Amino acid sequence: MVEKPGTAVLMFMAHRDVESRVMATIAREGFDDITIAQSRLMQRLDPAGMRLTELAEQARVTKQTAGALIDQLERAGYVTRLPDPTDARARLVTLSDKGAEVCRRANAEVLRVETEWRKQLGDRAFDAMRAALLKVNSV
């Protein structure tokens, strides 16, 4: 018997589809040296900067994994590390101009996908889906 995928699997499938489309778009636009793992950290960065430990926690990876990925992104020019003005011992990770440009292009692709979904579902169903997901994720 073939069962239909569960709701969580369907959400994951939709997310992975968007993620694949974003990665393909930024690669076509010349940013072909970013991995999916790196992009998952970049999309979580607070524009004001954030500590590596907080970034690792949000991305649900170890501090060591986050550190290695941020090292790679820093060498490629996508992020910078700045002194934390509230703690001289700490550093904040923030997007460089190059990293911010990648994020702008990625966000544009996400908006294109959401526009397609809105057209396919209709305004009311799309808005209801978004409201439900916000509630489920308590954002």
Structural domains for the chain: 7-136 (1.10.10.10)
Which residues, given as ranges, of the chain have pLDDT below 50? Answer: none
Listed residue (52, 50, 34) closest to 103, CA to CA: 34
Task: Report the pLDDT value the prediction gives residue 139, as an integer from 0 to 100.
Answer: 58
CA 91 to CA 94: how far, in whole Å? 10
Phi, psi for 88 (deg, rounded to 5): -60, -20
Characterise 115 by phi-psi region: left (phi > 0), alpha (psi -120 to 50), beta (else).
alpha
Q: Is residue 106 within 8 Å of 39, Cβ to Cβ?
A: yes
C-alpha–C-alpha distance, residues 54 and 1, integer Å: 44
At 87 the pLDDT is: 86
Question: Strand locations in the chain, DSSP E?
Answer: 79-84, 87-95
Q: What angle do CA 4, 6, 8 make, to 5 degrees?
A: 150
pLDDT of 3 reads: 81
Pinpoint the alpha helices (H) of the chain: 7-28, 36-42, 52-59, 63-75, 97-121, 123-136
Distance, in Å, from the CA atom of 116 to the CA atom of 18, rounded to the nearest integer, reads 11
- pTM recorded for the entire structure: 0.87
| End-to-end Cα spacing for the chain | 37
Q: What letter would DSSP give residue 60?
A: T
